[in-house]
Structures are given as C-alpha cells and as structure tokens.
A and B are shown apart, each in its own frame.
Chain A
Amino acid sequence: GDSVTQMEGPVTLSEEAFLTINCTYTATGYPSLFWYVQYPGEGLQLLLKATKADDKGSNKGFEATYRKETTSFHLEKGSVQVSDSAVYFCALVNTGNQFYFGTGTSLTVIP
C-alpha cells in the first residue's frame, strides 16, 4: 500500500543553518506530494506541494522537489529561523482521496 517514510528527529539547528528533512514514499501511479507544518497546539498547515515528477514546491524559503526516480520529496531551507521551530510532516495522496502522512520530524532552531 501507499506509505511515507520520514527522517526521524528531533533535529536541532542553530539559526541560519541549512535544513534538510528527508522523505521517501511508496505508491503506485503518480501521487501528489505535500509538506505540512504543525506548531504547538495547532492543526497542520500546508507548507508546499508538488503534483508531478520534477515539480518543485516552494513557500516561505522552503523547497522540495518531486523525484520519481528516487521516490523522494526532501524538504530544504537555506537559512532557518527560530520561528521555523515546529513539527514537519511529509504526506502523499493517490487517486483514493486518502492522505498518508509520515510520523513527523520535530525541528528546534536555537538562537
């Protein structure tokens, strides 16, 4: 079945460091891929998405490229800020309307 495997955390970085959170997926066909972010006490917010191979999603300095050959959708940011501290979830949806989420990666950015 469809699934998402996400890099385990927690991840702690200094402000202005480079961020990579790895995500790989298993799915038949051509799923759409997403990154969501969850701040403490809140629901998930859409960060970015990509709907076909080689698409690059981007938002608020975050980027991820849909790589079908490696079944990956790694999240990157060139310079993290304290306000980026949150839990990040990789997700996919295939034709069945059901989203599959990874287990989440907790990021803490220290000044």
Chain B
Amino acid sequence: DAGVTQSPTHLIKTRGQQVTLRCSPKSGHDTVSWYQQALGQGPQFIFQYYEEEERQRGNFPDRFSGHQFPNYSSELNVNALLLGDSALYLCASSSPDWNSPLHFGNGTRLTVT
C-alpha cells in the first residue's frame, strides 16, 4: 500500500523563478493538504484541496497556488520565488473528516538562491 509520494525530493531555484511540486496521496485518501516547514520550525498550513477545489487556505500570499486532479493527486505552484521560500514542502493526505489524521510524504526540499 503506497503512502504519500512527493516529487522531486530536492530542488534548487533562482529568486524570481517559478516552481511546481507534485504529490500523490495515500491510497484511499481524497483530501490533500500542503504545508511549509522552515528549518527548526513546525509545519505551517498553506492550503487544502478536496474534490478538486481549494477548501481552505492558510496565511500565504497568492504566489502560492495549487491544483487537484481527478485522481486526487495535487500540485503546488509558487511564483516569483523569494529567498524566504526556501523550506521543506510537505504534502499530506487524509480522508475528508475534519479530524482525520494527516499522512505525510517525505517532502520536497526547495532552496532558492
């Protein structure tokens, strides 16, 4: 039973560029959430997708956008990258229940230079 898979594992981009991160949820899960984890910090909620719609959004600028596909996989797009966007980006899948535990992938380490 495959868990949450994310790609790529590492990425280096230049300030001002755009990046796309990808996520496949755990089998049986239809809800995908994205989190940003800065070094030494806890994950911060970016947004959640359910039924191909953004269901909730955290306190992140519009440069952060996403998409969910009919097979429940998801993408996170970040435009106009800033140095401060360097972080570990975690995808988590769950069932739609509000308190369903999150199942995380191993993340994509993004470095902006």
Contacts and interface: CB of A to CB of B under 8 A. Distances in A.
Interface residues of A, number: 28
Interface stretch (A14-22, A76-84, A98-106): A98-106
A27 interface: no
Given A89-B42, A98-B56, A104-B42, A44 B104 contact: yes
Contacts of B42: 4, 6, 89, 91, 101-104
A43 B107 contact: yes
Given A34-B101, A97-B98, A43 B40 contact: no
B99 A43 contact: no
Chief secondary structure at chain B's binding surface: loop
A61 B11 CA distance: 37
Nearest to A45: B104
A103 B58 contact: no
Interface string B39-59: 011111100100000011010
Interface size class of B (residues with CB under 8 A): 20 to 34
Interface string B20-51: 00000000000001010000111111001000
Interface in B73-102: 90, 92, 98-99, 101-102
A110 interface: no
Nearest to B41: A103
A94 B45 CA distance: 13
B90 to A, nearest CB: 6
Contacts of B43: 44, 89, 99, 101
Contact of A96 (B4, B41, B56, B104): B56
A77 B10 CA distance: 34
A97 B56 contact: yes
A45 to B, nearest CB: 7
Contacts of B58: 98
Nearest to B101: A46
B47 to A, nearest CB: 9
Instruction: Report the 5 A-B pairs with minimum CB-CB distance, sorted nearest first.
Output: A101-B42, A43-B104, A32-B99, A44-B104, A43-B106
